[in-house]
């Protein structure tokens, strides 16, 4: 049990990068935290942290040990919860999500009502995160999963569309082929992590060079492009799930449908385990049932 307590202290220090903050969370002094880490290092025969007057960082051995400790503690938590009489999922659930908040916010709101004893810690970013090393319980991302340490379930598929308001198309005309976009106002997305503009995946004629599209506006979220398109300010390239109601109501109209080629798939991923914790299991099931219902 002393080793187990040492694991708990070590994980708290690794996550907070501070003996003081870890002690505050654990209800003990910073001195007690430091002694616990020192005992663990002595027992293992390795240094787990680089210490300086300014900060604490993990060594290579510490990074490897952190991954194992998190797995061990997660297994213990899952076993404890499975054996409880009521089996109610509870505890902190750290989840990384893409910036497309409109996709998941209604579902997560319903999840909080359904599981009030789960504390959601949500991180919205389009940057790639290291699920295990950064301590996430689950992440939602597009693309094909590649990390063998993670388990994945498919949430659903989407496609991108070019859309504009009826008012804009009445004033500026409706593009008939991709090259017509060169005479239109285009509302673009910039990737926060690279600073590059999102390419518009268009089917071009053989030998036709890539289009250098005009940039009437650039931003790094979906909501701004939807708003500006609704205001008749230009053409936007958007995932279909973000504008379904607007398309159904006729407030936005798709254009060049036969020329837009991009499709994508969302997955929810979590650290591989024979016995994932109840809180992770219910989150995964909840997202898979509701984010893309019927998908």
| Band (295; pLDDT cuts 50, 70, 90) | low
For the chain, what is the mean pLDDT?
87
Nearest to 4 by CA among 47, 39, 51: 39
Q: 57: which 2 tokens?
A: 């960082």
For 176-219, write each residue's pLDDT tens digit: 999 999 999 999 999 877 788 999 999 988 888 889 999 999 99
Nearest to 250 by CA among 236, 235, 230, 233: 230
Mapped onto helix, strand or coil, the DSSP state of residue 260 is: strand
Mean pLDDT value across residues 153-160: 90
For 74-116, write each residue's pLDDT tens digit: 777 767 666 654 567 888 899 988 877 778 888 999 999 999 9
Packing angle, helices 2-16 and 60-83, rounded to 10? 120
pTM recorded for the entire structure = 0.66
Instruction: Please state, in angstroms and rounded to a whole number, the distance separating the CA atoms of residues 285 and 295.
Output: 13
Instruction: Please state, in angstroms and rounded to a whole number, the distance separating the CA atoms of residues 167 and 252.
Output: 9
Instruction: Please state, in angstroms and rounded to a whole number, the distance separating the CA atoms of residues 65 and 12.
Output: 13
Q: Are strands 91-97 and 118-124 parallel, antiparallel or unpaired?
A: parallel
For 71-80, write each residue's pLDDT tens digit: 888 777 767 6
Instruction: Please state, in angstroms and rounded to a whole number, the distance separating the CA atoms of residues 137 and 268.
Output: 10
Backbone angles phi, psi at 8, to 5 degrees: -60, -45
- What residues have CB less than 8 Å from 12, skipping those under 6 apart? 21, 22, 25, 26, 33
């Amino acid at each position: 049990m002393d080793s187990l307590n040492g694991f708990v202290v070590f994980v708290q220090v690794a996550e907070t990068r501070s003996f003081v903050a870890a002690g505050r969370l654990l209800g003990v002094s910073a001195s007690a935290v430091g002694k616990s880490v020192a005992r663990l290092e002595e027992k293992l025969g390795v240094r787990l942290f680089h210490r300086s007057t300014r900060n604490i960082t993990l060594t290579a051995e510490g990074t490897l040990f952190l991954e194992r400790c998190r797995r061990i503690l997660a297994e213990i938590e899952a076993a404890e919860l499975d054996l409880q009489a009521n089996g109610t999922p509870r505890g902190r659930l750290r989840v990384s999500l893409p910036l497309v908040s409109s996709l998941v916010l209604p579902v997560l709101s319903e999840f909080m009502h359904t599981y009030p004893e789960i504390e959601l810690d949500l991180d919205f970013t389009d940057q790639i995160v290291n699920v295990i090393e950064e301590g996430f319980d689950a992440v939602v991302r597009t693309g094909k999963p590649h990390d063998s340490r993670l388990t994945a379930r498919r949430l659903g598929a989407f496609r991108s569309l070019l859309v504009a308001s009826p008012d804009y198309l009445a004033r500026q005309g409706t593009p008939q082929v991709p090259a017509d976009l060169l005479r239109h106002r285009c509302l673009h997305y910039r990737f926060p992590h690279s600073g590059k503009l999102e390419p518009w995946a268009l089917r071009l004629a053989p030998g036709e060079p890539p289009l250098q599209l005009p940039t009437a506006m650039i931003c790094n979220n979906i909501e701004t492009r939807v708003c500006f398109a609704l205001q008749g300010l230009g053409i936007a390239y958007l995932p279909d799930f973000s504008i379904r109601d607007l398309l159904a109501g006729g407030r936005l109209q798709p254009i060049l449908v036969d020329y837009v080629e991009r499709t994508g798939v969302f997955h929810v991923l979590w650290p591989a385990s024979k016995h994932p914790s109840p809180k992770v299991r219910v989150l995964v099931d909840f997202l898979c049932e509701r984010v893309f219902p019927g998908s």
